[in-house]
Copies of this chain bind each other. A is one copy, B any other.
């Protein structure tokens, strides 16, 4: 099969051996797989991730010096079943999503991220644990279904931060993570949601996905936009960027006694002034990924139209186009979410209109 292989910090598209489903596994053909900002990070910071896993006591067999195929935001069609899949909840022909996790006799193994064993969706085929697959309901198309994973990240962050409809929110960063937070905030009924981003294109997408206002931090303090829009409900500030400096930006934006939720992943060391969150008596909630129930219910919410992810989908490419897509995503005003659709020919990224 064709695959975009991560090798020594670079992406190399080549033909590799097809995966073979083991006991309890199905073989799936990728229909769409979103490119995640964390994969752009992982390509260059993979050894850092392994180091953090080791220091936080998370076992991992991942060796970034060996080949791996990323892509953990996938929607795929079951094309074959491996042995011992008789009672499986899915069968050949089903369109499915799955948490990017495989259940194996030796433990839980990530799929498409930090694994040399299970390739991700930047490839034509994958093997998945049959029992982890969720059938895509309601005739939802494969593109929207592929957004389940990143939208679940936003849902989890909003839940971790304990946001209720009585709160207001300021979301710093309108990349996919920030947009997922915006969509979830609106889904649960938060009225004032200010999204802040330097990119006009991303601000427009934030408004399309339910932000009540968008702020350009180059022109005005996003907190002032919140004051103008609301200013009286308790404000929860989300750091949905995760580069050095954004944690303190969120801390400085947060009113006294409020909550900051860190959902963007900062791979590097950062500098903080602890006296500022302390005199403000802030609570900083760190959020990571989601739980299986949040994932499953996010797929349901998208399928039932509670969240419209279409405005986020700005481009598609084939497997051969993955390196170009990674480059395009480094230019934040160009794209939000690019989906890899292995059937797409060529090495280019094809733009998708807001109609999805």
Contact = CB atoms under 8 A, between A and B. Distances in A.
Interface of A: 48-49, 52-53, 55-56, 58, 160, 242, 247, 252, 256, 262, 265-267, 269-288
A32 to B, nearest CB: 27
A271 B273 CA distance: 9
Contacts of A267: 275
A262 B274 contact: yes
Contacts of A256: 56
A221 to B, nearest CB: 12
Nearest to A282: B286
Given A270-B271, A271-B269, A271-B271, A287 B279 contact: no
A43 to B, nearest CB: 16
Copies in the complex: 2
Nearest to A263: B278
A177 to B, nearest CB: 12
Contacts of A274: 242, 247, 262, 265-266, 270, 286
Contacts of A270: 271-274
Given A278-B286, A281-B288, 9 more contacts: A55-B252, A242-B274, A265-B278, A269-B272, A269-B273, A270-B271, A270-B274, A277-B284, A284-B286
Nearest to A243: B274
A149 to B, nearest CB: 17
Given A52-B273, A265-B275, A272-B270, A283 B281 contact: no
Most buried by B among A252, A265, A266, A281: A281
B271 A56 contact: no
A279 B58 contact: yes
Contacts of A288: 278-281
B287 A278 contact: yes
A284 B287 CA distance: 12
B262 A278 contact: yes
Q: Which 5 A-B pairs have the closest CB atoms?
A: A266-B274, A278-B286, A284-B284, A277-B286, A283-B285
Nearest to A261: B283
